[in-house]
Each structure stands twice: as C-alpha cells, then as structure tokens.
Amino acid sequence: MAALLSIYCRDRHGGGPELCAACAGLQSYIAARMEHCVLRPEKPTCTTCAFRCYAPPQQLRSWSVLRNASPQLFWRHPRLAFWHYFDTRHTPAR
C-alpha cells in the first residue's frame, strides 16, 4: 500500500518523494491496522478478507487510492503488481 500511496500522492497532490500530511496520516493508519490484524501472519489481501479493519472514512480514502493508483502500479512497480495479483488469486477467502 505504501507504493500505491506514493503514486497517488505524487499524481493527485503534486508532492515530491515525501507524502503530504493527509497521505502520511492514511499510511500510518493503515500500518497501525495491519500491525494489529487478527489474521497475521497469513492475512489475505483486503478484497478476499472476511474482516473490514478500516473505519468508513479511511476505507473510502483507501479505495480512492486503490482506484486511482492501481492501474499505474504495473508500470512503476511491476514486481509488486505481479505479487499482488498472485496473492489475490491464490489466497483462500476466510
């Protein structure tokens, strides 16, 4: 998600290598939620997960990041895109 946030922030907010305050806040929120996930270490991708970890405002913001930055992930980080695709297709839903 960090790679997606950097793509999103750079394209939408015109930032440089550093994230803006809003995107940095979302990144720290996501990291805190992932750290306290009950399904760790075998956590599936969010689309196949049975639990919804994020509060509704952060969930909407993360969906916006995914919707806008995911198409560019293949070109900017092809290995991450491949592994995310592999995880999404091969992780059983709970």
What does the pLDDT look like over 37-80, one tens digit per residue?
Answer: 887 777 766 667 777 788 889 888 888 887 887 777 777 777 76
Rg (CA), the chain: 13
Q: Name residue 57's amino acid.
A: P
Question: Domain limits of the chain?
Answer: 2-90
**How many whole angstroms separate alpha carbon 38 and alpha carbon 51?**
9
Q: What pLDDT score was predicted for residue 29? A: 92
**Percent of the chain beyond pLDDT 70?**
79
Q: What pLDDT score was predicted for residue 70? A: 75
Q: What pLDDT score was predicted for residue 80? A: 67
pTM exceeds cut of 0.75: no
